[in-house]
Amino acid sequence: MDSVDLEVVKSALAWTRSGHKATIGTITHTWGSAPRPVGAMVAIRDDGQVTGSVSGGCVEDDLIEKVKTRAVAAEKPEVVIYGVTQEQATRYGLPCGGTLQIVLEPVGEHSHLEELLAAIERHELVARTLDMATGVATIQAGRWSDVLEFDDKVLKSVHGPRWRVLLIGAGQVSRYLAQMAQALDYHVTVCDPREEYYAGWDLPTVPLTRSYPDDAAIAMNLDAHCAVVALTHDPKLDDIALLEALKSPAFYVGALGSRKNNDARRKRLADFDLAAAEIERMRGPVGLKIGSKTPPEIAVAILAEMTAVRHGVQIPELVEPPKVNVTTGCAVPQT
């Protein structure tokens, strides 16, 4: 569940608590080009107020009208489909003749949104099952392999962080990176066995383990939904985590440090049981080249690169600008 969809749950719950009726819409299937992915959600209040999106604005007006007039999902969940015909695709502005299947669900006590929201705010992964015949929902612990499933009778949706990131080191960059990653719905674990860093860690929503980094990586059972970023500048800690991460299916493995330091790191890793292709997977210097210098800027650069890799976007090397002479204010070409 992304942050937009979390706001959907919060809004629907708040509206019903204040005496309004609310309906939640969830994309269960798409054909062709679709503005939002399967699992995206929208909440519509009985007076037409809306939070979230299932089409980037293409079909929301029609959904709002249907909910306000109680034309659909007045008593129990119903399925609506947009874009079956070219005329519908044109009318609702769906790109390239795309088609959306949406489950509309009237919210009530049987929806168990309080339980769902509490689990999400604890950064737990949960699966929610909705019975289409009765409208009754159940909440249970989710698994990393869970995906949205819908067979016209039962809708199983997955909520909470489905992506995980292991950060090696509890320094300043890790603090910013952990908080930003949580905003992008990663489950974040920080590993640092050093007493001085452990004592100063004060982010209650981000667990800090004092185990050694290789043990932490093994314990996480890294899969293709995981990222590992080494941030300590200490080879004794960073390298052992990288050894485990590069052998795993983790979609992103990176290390902080200069190009020179990372070249030296690659030479050290080559002395262990890593293939050249595995070492090549390491991104170091980590992050996009955006001229970042401060800890929050470095965190932004790392998360931007992680996002690109996660979505399969190829980003070419960015050209660094000329250095500025601070005494004259003139741009000096690099040699």
pLDDT tens string 110-162: 999 999 998 887 768 889 999 999 999 999 998 877 889 999 999 999 987 77
Residues 171 and 37 in one domain: no
Residues 292, 239, single domain; the answer is yes
Please tell me whether residues 293 and 181 are part of one structural domain. yes
Of 159, 188, 221, which residue sits at a domain end? 159
Q: Residue 297 in contact with residue 324, Cβ under 8 Å? A: no
Residue 245 lies in a domain: yes
d(CA 295, CA 169): 13
Among 132, 159, 186, the domain-final residue is 159
- Answer yes or no: do 230 and 151 share one domain: no
Please tell me whether residues 73 and 150 are part of one structural domain.
yes
What rounded mean pLDDT belongs to the chain? Answer: 88
pLDDT of residue 1: 45
Lowest mean pLDDT among 114-128, 186-200, 230-244, 289-303: 114-128
d(CA 142, CA 127): 5
Residue 324 has pLDDT above 80, yes or no: no
Q: What are phi and psi of 202, to 5 degrees?
A: -135, 30
- Residue 146 shares a structural domain with residue 13: yes
Evaluate if pTM is beyond 0.85.
no
Q: Read off the CATH number of the domain in which 222 is found.
A: 3.40.50.720
My answer on whether 122 and 264 are in the same domain is: no
User: 190-209 burial, b if ≥16 CB within 10 A, otherwise e?
Assistant: bbbbeeebeeebeeeebebb
Residue 331, in any domain of the structure: no
Same domain, 147 and 247: no
Query: Do 77 and 28 share a structural domain?
Result: yes
Domain that holds residue 306: 163-310
CA distance 163 to 320: 31
Closest CA to 304 of 168, 154, 184, 131: 184
Same domain, 13 and 153: yes
In a domain, 329, yes or no: no
Domain final residue, candidates 120, 136, 159: 159
Is pLDDT of 321 > 90? no
Number of domains in the chain: 2
pLDDT one-digit tens code per residue, 271-285: 998 999 999 999 999
Residue 324 lies in a domain: no
**Does 10 share its domain with 146?**
yes
Whether residues 181 and 146 fall in one domain = no
pLDDT at 334: 44
